[in-house]
């Protein structure tokens, strides 16, 4: 398996594009994206656990109930959530795409992201779609990635090439996510594409299984969005024997999918609103997987620890504190904690108690852009990883007047 260029257009048969249609006031920012498969594709998706859900999620669930789709339309700048005519608007978006691409409206995945509770007009979308569709190309992945961004500061895309049944396959994805990021389903939009042939039920199984250890292990600010969605289209153009059951081919597909999703997780967490550092908490030696995941997420969600990481302060007591209130059954007298970065690794806690360490070296370790928080529970063999970011002054600045 190797990393390649192309994002959602890396796989055979996929084209994409992104344009500014007028939803966002800033004309320099794209606000409408389209992804298209030249043939109908197996489709799967997972959604937010928030009881308040955006209208596009309701429409998408209905559209891919048969396990197939051919296009994805997504706007930014407006979440189309808590609107009286939200379903009508989301369905209209699908109809417009269907008309332009000569496909069925029921084969369109619909997504929206932006401000909640603000009416969304179909007019700018209708006006922008002809140019959006006409501009679809195999080089359009970056434009599509730009069109789904809100407070994101960097575009997020990745793709890999792998082998299934002797056939070369590709899987790629784009993502948006910066604020309102918290399990479960972590707040984001992620669109994945692959030319691997896989049955809809196995595709759903692969995606649902993967997110439990990837997107559900991210937290930026503790808020779960109303519009989270991770979707995947698999059009089968790689020509491999279709995956219909678990086995060697399914394992190879899962490994490639996981490589792409972890890369996107790191990009999302590192681009948290106002963030200056990517935090990665690795828990080892847990009695079971559930314990490892609970501890990792609790540490990464701690506002006090996140603030300490911003200040490059090796305040390891905040790690122990987060473990203690996590609800996990942990022997705190066995816990070890270390901080690691490109500058080196420093142990700050052994067997639940502090050890002598150089504050100067600790500062050097924590001043790096990517920090690993290593937690050893010394009670078993299970391990888990969670991703987050530091908590900075800019997070409040960004969200203090987000709507206005």
268-309 pLDDT per residue, tens: 877 766 678 999 999 999 999 999 999 999 999 899 999 999
Sorting pLDDT into bands at 50, 70 and 90, what band is 181? very low
Residue 285 near residue 323 (C-beta atoms within 8 A) = no
Cα separation, 211 vs 396, in Å, equals 29
The closest of 336, 332, 333, 340 to 355, measured between CA atoms, is 336
Cα separation, 89 vs 71, in Å, equals 17
pLDDT at 399: 66
Angle value at C-alpha 230, between 226 and 233, nearest 5 degrees:
140
- Beta-strand ranges (E) seen in 26-85 are 32-47, 68-78
Contacts of 40 (CB under 8 A, 6+ apart): 68, 69, 70, 107, 235
pLDDT digits (tens, 9 = 90+) for 191-244: 999 999 999 999 999 999 999 888 888 865 554 556 788 999 999 999 999 999
> Rounded to whole angstroms, what are the CA distances from 69 to 8, 231, 389?
15, 10, 35
> Rounded to whole angstroms, what are the CA distances from 113 to 74, 148, 151?
8, 7, 10
Sorting pLDDT into bands at 50, 70 and 90, what band is 146? very high
Torsion of CA 265, 268, 269, 274, to 10 degrees: 180
Give the domains, in start order, of the chain with CATH numbers. Answer: 2-270 (3.60.70.12), 278-400 (3.10.20.340)
Cα 385 from chain centroid (whole Å): 15
Higher model confidence: residue 33 or residue 274?
Answer: 33
Higher model confidence: residue 107 or residue 149?
Answer: 107
Phi first, then psi: give them for residue 307, nearest 5 degrees. Answer: -65, -40
pLDDT digits (tens, 9 = 90+) for 7-21: 999 999 999 999 999
DSSP 240: P
Residue 367 has pLDDT above 60, yes or no: yes
Tokens of 57: 């999620």
User: What average pLDDT score do residues 125-139 get?
Assistant: 98
pLDDT at 5: 96
pTM to 2 decimals? 0.82
User: What average pLDDT score do residues 320-328 get?
Assistant: 96
Residues labelled catalytic: 187
* Dihedral (CA of 134, 136, 139, 145) sign: positive
Tokens of 122: 């179909």
pLDDT at 187: 46
């Amino acid at each position: 398996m190797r990393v390649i260029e192309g994002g959602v257009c890396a796989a055979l048969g996929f084209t994409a594009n992104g344009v500014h249609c007028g939803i966002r006031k800033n004309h320099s920012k794209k606000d409408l994206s389209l992804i298209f498969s030249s043939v109908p594709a197996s489709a799967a998706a997972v959604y937010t656990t928030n009881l308040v859900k955006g209208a596009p999620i309701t429409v998408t669930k209905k559209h891919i109930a048969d396990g197939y789709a051919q296009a994805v339309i997504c706007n930014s700048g407006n979440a189309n959530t808590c609107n009286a005519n939200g379903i009508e608007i989301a369905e209209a978006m699908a109809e417009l795409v269907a008309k332009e691409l000569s496909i069925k409206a029921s084969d369109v995945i619909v997504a929206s992201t932006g401000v909640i509770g603000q009416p969304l007009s179909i007019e700018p979308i209708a006006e922008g779609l002809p140019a959006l569709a006409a501009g679809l190309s195999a080089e359009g992945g970056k434009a599509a990635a730009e069109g789904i961004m809100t407070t994101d500061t960097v575009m997020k895309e990745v793709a890999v090439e792998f082998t299934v049944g002797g056939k070369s396959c590709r899987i790629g994805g784009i993502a948006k996510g910066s604020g309102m990021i918290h399990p479960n389903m972590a707040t984001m939009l992620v669109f994945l594409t692959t030319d691997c042939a896989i049955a809809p039920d196995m595709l759903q199984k692969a995606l649902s299984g993967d997110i439990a250890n990837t997107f559900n292990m991210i937290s930026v600010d503790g808020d779960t969005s109303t519009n989270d969605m991770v979707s995947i289209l698999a059009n089968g153009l790689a020509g491999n024997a279709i995956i219909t059951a678990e086995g060697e081919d399914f394992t190879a597909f899962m490994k490639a999918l996981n490589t792409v999703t972890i890369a996107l997780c790191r990009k999302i967490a590192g681009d948290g609103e106002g963030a200056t550092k990517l935090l990665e908490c690795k828990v080892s030696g847990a009695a079971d997987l559930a314990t490892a995941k609970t501890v990792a997420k609790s540490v990464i969600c701690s506002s006090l620890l996140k603030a300490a990481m911003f200040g490059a302060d090796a305040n390891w007591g905040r790690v122990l504190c987060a473990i203690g209130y996590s609800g996990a059954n942990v022997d705190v007298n066995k816990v070890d904690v270390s901080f690691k970065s490109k500058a080196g690794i420093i142990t700050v806690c052994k067997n639940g108690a502090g050890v002598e360490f150089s504050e100067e070296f600790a500062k050097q370790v924590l001043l790096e852009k990517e920090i690993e928080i290593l937690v050893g529970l010394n009670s078993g063999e299970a391990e888990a990883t969670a991703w987050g970011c530091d908590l900075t002054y800019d997070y409040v600045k960004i969200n203090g007047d987000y709507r206005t």
